[in-house]
Structure 1
Amino acid sequence: MSPAVPERALRELGRTEGGTDALGLLVRDQHTRRLILLRALLDAAADAPAAVRPTTAAAGPREHWALLEAADRADRAAVRTVLLHPLTGPWAQRCLRGLTSPAPTPELAADLAHFGALAAAAAIRARLPFSARLTAPAGPLVLPTLGALRTGRGAPSPLDITLADSRVTVRQAGAAPVVLEADGDGPRSEDPRWLPVLTLPPLRDGAPPVHLDDLDPYRVAAPGPQRHGLSAATGPDPAERAAWARLWALTGPALAAGGPHRPAEAAALLRCLVPLRPPPGSAPSGDGPAQCSATRREAFGAVLSSKPATAALLASTLVHELQHTKLAALSALVPLHHEDATPRHFAPWRSDLRPFDGLLQGAYSHLALADYWQRLALGAERLSRRDLAWAEHARCREQVGAVLPVLAGSGALTREGRVLVNEMIAVYHRLADSPPPAGHRARAEAYVRTARMIWRQRNGT
């Protein structure tokens, strides 16, 4: 067994659970990788040829890094909130790709300018007095984890930002200064040009809050999600924010109804929710059964989701997506298999061919959903809620059962992968101890049979 992952932690994760030590191991490794990525970005900025580096009147990466280091000395925890913010990852990776590209990339100038905004946000969180010149983008200037400033400019332009006596002042030529009062909850201002990030309360006592980030320019891959079934990101809207806040207030209890390990894993892993627009098939308000969600490997701790109709559906979305977060982080620590990436497999939750890794990811997340919905069904008092939960449980368990033989039969699983899959099989069989009503099981079996038939017709296999 790999010394990087103790067997006890691996078995916990294989059961789609994870105690404090197991989840902490994943979090610490991902945070270390993020800090290494940021250091690599600084080195790439120093080594990039002049033809690649954009010219700007604002400070450069070295100055931004110096401000980060000073803020880190003042309050390391505050600075890590910014550096380890999930959406800092996609920015850093895109910036690094641009700096190591053989030719200038169109977005590199804006990406490097964002480094200054990130450093300023870190200094503000650390309460470090500073002055810096930033480049405001064509759109709003986003200070990660804090908010955005509407600059009113149609093209990038310089601005000066200072923090003194707990007051942040932003000055831009041709506009009145914007003054923000920096307090423990982030900068506040009555100026309509300032829009703070919405901070959702922790899911359990002692956990960090969760940002509902509808501002960060790196919250989805430009020009928008290109993945299966995803819609584009939403922009800031007061009514949408209020609806998310109301839904969030009910999500903690809905998660806990699926077992105490569900709010525990969400508290350990989730730092950011990125709201997406309702997918096709939804009502204009977003209400209805249609929903889409995703995670991004480079944005550890973020979940992207359109707004579900109920708290139970939002809780199940978190259960689903956080399994992807866990498995991706575990795979970064230790290889689970040596299968190639050729799409060839049937997955009842998708109509296309899936690679082995996608099959493993999907089975893992659907197994957690089967467990979640079964616990909800067993604890539900209202018949309608119990009926819905059994239907979801039966479908998810049947979907997992359709692909487990492929996973278990692979000769390319590593020792760690074999332990993980064996634990998944054990959970799958344990779920049979409390079976759903016969009608739900029959409908789930028919659903998977139909999905397989459509898949064969569509893929010619």
Structure 2
Amino acid sequence: MSPPRGARPACRAVLTRHHVPVADLEDIAGGRVTAPAGTRIEAAERSRRMLMLRALADAEHAAPGHGGPLPPLPYAFDLLARAEQRDPEAVARVLGHPPVGVWAVRLLGRLRGGAGPRPGEPPLWREAGYAHALAAAAALRAGLPARVRVPARAGKVILPTVGHAVLDDASGEHDVATLETDGRGTARVTLGPHAVELPAAPHLPAPGWHPARLLSWAPREPGPGVLLDDADPYRDFRSPWPPPAPVADAESGLWQRHLHDAAHLLTTRHPDAAGAARLVLNSLVPLPGMPRFRTSSASYAEAFGSALVSLPRDAVDFAVTLVHETRHSVLNALSHQIPLVDRATGGPHADALLYAPWRTDPRPPWGLLHGAYAFTGVADFWRTERHALTGPRADLAHFEFAVWRDAVAIALRTLADQSGLTPWGRRFADGMVRQTASWADEQVPAGALAPALDELADLRATWCSHNLVADPAATRRLTELRLDGGTGDEATAPPSRVRADGPPRLPELRCELRRMLLADGGTFAPDTRARLSGVERAPDLLEADLCLLRGGPGSAARAVDRYRAVLTAAPGTRAAWAGLGLALAAAGEHTPATALLHRPELVRALALDTRSRDGRLPDPVDLAHWTARLPGLTGPLVTGLQGA
């Protein structure tokens, strides 16, 4: 790093050439991250962070005058450089903190954009001031004497990776605090007339001082562990500067117990996944607890090593989430060095919007590759777990394996047709194909396989209903043909187009209900409705869903009648069209079921168009029968839809 006027941070230890051996690419594609590969990934990510800091210094130098009470960025970088001379590993820990990447991207965008703050966004000087907080944390870690001015917010002063001080600032008049440390264990944070003395060992609590919460992978295990980050303003890349949500001591203990149990499970039964998680993950951002089958988790390309995770219910739940998010982080890091998808010269499919069974929205090739890699890990996890568990838990694990192995197979077939993959991207996808090739031949008990096949059909039909739009002109022609007595054989099923602007939505509720049914031993518990995740569901539609999934003699026919009643009253209800298709298939009515499960958006559009003409709605089952006669209904006629 450089003195203040140079404005160009550098680091001889990490700014170097990096390479990815072909063996690393193929190991990672197969779900293995060796220790040498992990070291290479970490080194490349550190270099990327240093280049970000250099870009920030250059951008600030080119766009001065943003004002504020703190010095320019180079002053912070100079302190980081001096701390690095004393203790390189201390600075590496600070700059490797995942929120640093989130902050750098945001600040760089603001410095280059030149616009003022958006609603709810902090002033530019405060965002730039995070660099001073990083420098202060590095000085503390390295034992370097320093006096640093850092931003404060609502009386809270964040020292990333070290902890945070909470000072009495009821008036809210003070925006800048000062950290003073003599490098020998004495440190103080002051904010106006208030002060907090830090303990000689900053990892210990003290009045007004809250050390960073570190979790260990195993009891009594030495090492840096995993940060449970409940304080950093950039910990949640989805919403920078989230409100404080400190984790209570009891909840922190619960996270630790779950991590110990999940790490033990992975080490015992999934050694490759366990090794990858330990090499990659260094930060967990706690999210609020979620219903059992709607775990929330996320990763971000510039927050390597971090995973946002809702409070897990048990070790199995936590373990599979760690597998999933570790794979996202690994692929993010790999893509920083090797282009796997070429958007510039990828041909006509490079920007296609594609079907991914695990998403409610269309995905570009890069997103599909990412999801396929993550869910290959998920499927492999359940592939092993199903043989280790017993009773309803084993039934559920068999189900999860069957769903995700077929979902991955769908995605990999789609990727095989994508010209947008680079040669290295294709080689990576081929590695996943090799890993999963034998899975289709593995037996799954009928009691888990049948609902898994229904799940896959439901996912696709519901996705089509929400994300595909039938051609309006063709819909009008078909409506006229049907009203004039046409049989449908003389027409052709028209293509639909993918909506690129569909609103975000939660996963289909029937997916949650299937899992609840399996977990409860094949019977819906009396409190099923109370345990649902809060997704809005009309009572009559929910009753139809429960009737369909409960099974038993006559249940399919009753479900058909209930879905028909829902659609007669509200023909726009997308979930009911897919549900009706599933109920018809269960009742042996495969012809109308084909139309509803393959082209629900077309059947729905015909129903709505008919009602708009004469105010009457055709019987949904009769309309599905008629639509099924259209030639080419199940052919590849959907514009932009791949993998269907």
Q: CA deviation at 1:350?
A: 1.4
Cα RMSD of the aligned pairs, angstroms, is 2.4
Query: Residue 264 of structure 1 is aligned with which of 252, 275, 281?
Result: 275
The TM-score normalised by the length of structure 1 is 0.89
Q: CA deviation at 1:62?
A: 2.3
The TM-score normalised by the length of structure 2 is 0.64
Query: Residue 371 of structure 1 is aligned with which of 351, 360, 380?
Result: 380
In 1, Cα distance between the equivalents of 2:287 and 2:50? 28
In 2, Cα distance between the equivalents of 1:118 and 1:271? 17
The equivalences for 1:15-414 within 5 A come to 15-50=30-65, 53-56=66-69, 58-105=70-117, 106-153=122-169, 154-164=172-182, 165-175=184-194, 177-183=195-201, 186-191=202-207, 193-202=208-217, 208-221=224-237, 223=239, 234-279=245-290, 282=291, 288-338=292-342, 339=346, 342=351, 344-380=353-389, 382-414=390-422
Structure 1, unmatched stretches of 5+, are: 226-230, 283-287
* Equivalent pair of 2:395/2:447 in contact (CA under 8 Å): no
CA 1:139–1:95: 2 relative to 1, 3 Å: farther
* Equivalent residue, structure 2, for 1:422: 430
CA 1:93–1:139: 2 relative to 1, 3 Å: farther
In 1, Cα distance between the equivalents of 2:248 and 2:324? 26
CA 1:203–1:415: 2 relative to 1, 3 Å: farther
* Equivalent pair of 1:320/1:369 in contact (CA under 8 Å): yes
SS class of match (2:129) = helix
In 2, Cα distance between the equivalents of 1:146 and 1:337? 38
In 2, Cα distance between the equivalents of 1:187 and 1:322? 26
Q: CA deviation at 1:433?
A: 5.5
In 1, Cα distance between the equivalents of 2:135 and 2:438? 49
* Equivalent pair of 1:12/1:22 in contact (CA under 8 Å): no
CA 1:6–1:189: 2 relative to 1, 3 Å: closer
Q: CA deviation at 1:262?
A: 1.2
CA 1:349–1:118: 2 relative to 1, 3 Å: same
* Equivalent pair of 1:201/1:209 in contact (CA under 8 Å): yes
Percent identity of paired positions between Structure 1 and Structure 2: 33
Q: CA deviation at 1:398?
A: 1.6
Which is worse superposed, 405-414 or 71-80? Answer: 405-414
* Equivalent residue, structure 2, for 1:6: 21
CA 1:131–1:234: 2 relative to 1, 3 Å: closer
Q: CA deviation at 1:242?
A: 2.4
1:153-189, Cα deviation, whole Å (9 max, x unpaired): 32443322211231211223222x2111232xx3434
Equivalent residue letter for 1:158: V
In 1, Cα distance between the equivalents of 2:238 and 2:379? 33
Equivalent residue letter for 2:380: D
CA 1:139–1:170: 2 relative to 1, 3 Å: closer
Equivalent residue letter for 2:177: L
CA 1:207–1:173: 2 relative to 1, 3 Å: closer
In 2, Cα distance between the equivalents of 1:266 and 1:120? 29
Which is worse superposed, 28-37 or 252-261? Answer: 252-261
Q: CA deviation at 1:234?
A: 4.0
CA 1:32–1:387: 2 relative to 1, 3 Å: same
Equivalent residue letter for 2:384: R
Structure 2, unmatched stretches of 5+, are: 1-17, 469-495, 497-644
CA 1:451–1:133: 2 relative to 1, 3 Å: closer
* Equivalent pair of 2:237/2:300 in contact (CA under 8 Å): no
In 2, Cα distance between the equivalents of 1:443 and 1:383? 17
* Equivalent pair of 1:212/1:275 in contact (CA under 8 Å): yes
CA 1:411–1:113: 2 relative to 1, 3 Å: closer
* Equivalent pair of 2:160/2:232 in contact (CA under 8 Å): yes
Q: CA deviation at 1:453?
A: 1.1
In 1, Cα distance between the equivalents of 2:243 and 2:130? 22
